[in-house]
Structure 1
Amino acid sequence: MYYQPKNNLLDHKRILITGASEGIGRQAALTYAHHGASVLLLGRTEHKLNIVQNLIAEAGGRKARVLVFDLANTQLAPYQGLAQILADECLYLDGLLNNAGILGEIAPMAKQDATLWSEVIAVNINGTFMLTQALLPLLLNASSPSLIFSTSSVGRKGRATWGAYAVSKFATEGMMQIFAEEYTAATLRVNAINPGRTRTNMRAKAFPMEAPDQLKNPADIMAIYLYLMGDDSRHKTGVSFNAQSDVKQRGMT
């Protein structure tokens, strides 16, 4: 379907984006801010987050909040501490886009490095879960909150050599479905987005011989990110969407 979001779709909404320093997370932050949101930029690299913050300010958006945080943290305390800091600033969070993730290595299962495997699972699954769990009270305090997970086609059907990344995305699909089932009686809606073949640094690492000019830019796939974060998707939950086929934005795709 084609989707034309209102310019003020996210006006006054407070949205946290993980992996906001580059790629899809960066573009989502810019897009959400353009549509009126106050965005919280979470990532590991402060100077990259500051660049995004400055771009939002230069475009006339609401002041963005930079949160330097590493989802490789294995202890619960840092996640709870972050949630408390945000709760002290505001009692609610309208949206959480769990976009951050790492690739690991493209190699057969028999040759997957165990240390890299653990790092991928730590960030893509464990860290994402602990952050989501810690922020749930803030999301549930909002009038129409949206929780979005980032998935992949290799998390729906196993593909040789995709190892830990694919396993983490299978788990992401399951985590999304469980959260959606557990909150069917609440206003919280929970969905996932598969961005597809998109021009990002992660894609370039996975497919170094691929011509980047044959790929969509992150800006080209923002329609689904807007649709699911805004109130137009109020009754959609438990669905895994494909960014490049399920929802398109007129004039952009």
Structure 2
Amino acid sequence: MTPNPDLSGRIALVTGASRGIGYSVAKQLAAAGAHVVAVARTIGGLEELDDEIKSAGGQATLVPLDLTDMPGIDRLGGAINDRWGKLDILVANAGVLGVISPIGHVEAKVFDKVMAVNVTGTWRLIRSVDPLLRNSEAGRAVIVSSNAAHSARAFWGPYAASKAAVETLMRSWADETKSLALRVNAFDPGRTRTAMRAQAVPGEDPKTLPQPSEIAAKLMPLVSRSLTETGLIYQAQRDRFVAYRQPE
């Protein structure tokens, strides 16, 4: 894979761009030449990102949007189509943890929110931008997942289930588009120094974890024009692609 792709002239959409891995990915995409459409709920974080991107000579369009706003996701796809007529890169990074709790103790409203943001929001986003990615000469989609989808550890039930679901969506989408120029993969960042990780494992020493910028750099090759893989999961902290289940 190309470690530092030239993304000049490319349009890239990043969700969850106001902090953590999404923030770092957006900065690195812009530094590589892409025009970044940065999506997040937190306006302050988006404005800080915009300042950093522009001070480095990059370009960004800010979109304050909650991924539970399904009509808003549809409008986003329409706006990208009206302005550019295509999308070259999707990084579907936004997600929520919910709670670390026995399954039987999880409140219905918490479970519903995890599924709404992580699963339904991701599906609605794919639905909205799939035609735009097909219009690119080398569309690239990266769905941010987690090893929780496979380890299925105690107390991580809702989050793990949501990530297993989005990986399945990714594999189906990749199989549907394998004859096209579009490449679709998942990205497992592993343990990273983020607010979500601190919420999940509050007693952990953050100094033992890699910074989001280090992990974002591992994602960059997945958006390169030279990428050939599709329908796989890239494990950032093991530097490898894996296929947990090949299509029959």
Q: Which range, TM-score by smaller chain?
A: over 0.9
SS of match in other structure, 1:17: strand
CA distance in 1, matches of 2:130, 2:149: 24
Displacement after TM superposition at 1:214 (Å): 0.3
CA distance in 2, matches of 1:54, 1:91: 26
Residue 79 of structure 1 pairs with residue 73 of structure 2: yes
Corresponding residue for residue 50 of structure 1:
47
Asked if the contact 1:105–1:163 (Cα under 8 Å) also holds between the matched residues in 2, the reply is: no
Question: For residues 127-156 of structure 1, what are the alpha-carbon distances to aligned partners after superposition, in whole Å with 9 as ceiling and x for unaligned?
Answer: 111011011111110000001101111101
CA distance in 2, matches of 1:106, 1:146: 32
- Among candidates 238, 242, 247, match of residue 245 of structure 1: 238
SS of match in other structure, 2:186: strand
Task: Give the residue type in structure 2 aligned to 1:5.
Answer: N
Task: Give the residue type in structure 2 aligned to 1:24.
Answer: I
Residue 90 of structure 1 pairs with residue 84 of structure 2: yes
Asked if the contact 1:152–1:169 (Cα under 8 Å) also holds between the matched residues in 2, the reply is: yes
Question: 5+ residue gaps in structure 1?
Answer: 248-253
Residue 188 of structure 1 pairs with residue 170 of structure 2: no
CA distance in 2, matches of 1:97, 1:210: 28
Question: For residues 213-247 of structure 1, what are the alpha-carbon distances to aligned partners after superposition, in whole Å with 9 as ceiling and x for unaligned?
Answer: 000001112333110011131x1101101011116
Corresponding residue for residue 13 of structure 1:
10
Displacement after TM superposition at 1:173 (Å): 1.2
Corresponding residue for residue 33 of structure 1:
30
Question: For residues 23-82 of structure 1, what are the alpha-carbon distances to aligned partners after superposition, in whole Å with 9 as ceiling and x for unaligned?
Answer: 000000001111111101001111210110110011111x20001111112x4x322222
Asked if the contact 2:3–2:220 (Cα under 8 Å) also holds between the matched residues in 1, the reply is: no
CA distance in 2, matches of 1:4, 1:149: 19
Displacement after TM superposition at 1:85 (Å): 1.3
CA distance in 2, matches of 1:25, 1:55: 14
Asked if the contact 2:73–2:124 (Cα under 8 Å) also holds between the matched residues in 1, the reply is: yes
SS of match in other structure, 1:66: strand
Corresponding residue for residue 154 of structure 2:
160
Counting matched residue pairs gives 240
- Among candidates 135, 144, 150, match of residue 138 of structure 2: 144
CA distance in 1, matches of 2:4, 2:61: 24
Asked if the contact 1:93–1:139 (Cα under 8 Å) also holds between the matched residues in 2, the reply is: yes
CA distance in 1, matches of 2:233, 2:3: 20
Displacement after TM superposition at 1:100 (Å): 0.1
Residue 68 of structure 1 pairs with residue 75 of structure 2: no
TM-score, structure 1 as length reference: 0.92
Residue 173 of structure 1 pairs with residue 170 of structure 2: no
Describe the shift of the 1:4–1:127 C-alpha distance in structure 2 as closer, same or farther (beyond 3 A): closer
SS of match in other structure, 2:237: coil
Corresponding residue for residue 200 of structure 2:
206
CA distance in 1, matches of 2:39, 2:217: 22
- Among candidates 111, 115, 132, match of residue 121 of structure 1: 115
CA distance in 2, matches of 1:25, 1:100: 7
Asked if the contact 1:112–1:163 (Cα under 8 Å) also holds between the matched residues in 2, the reply is: no
Displacement after TM superposition at 1:176 (Å): 0.7
Q: Which stretch of structure 1 is more off in the superposition, 35-44 or 221-230?
A: 221-230
Identity of aligned residues (%): 38
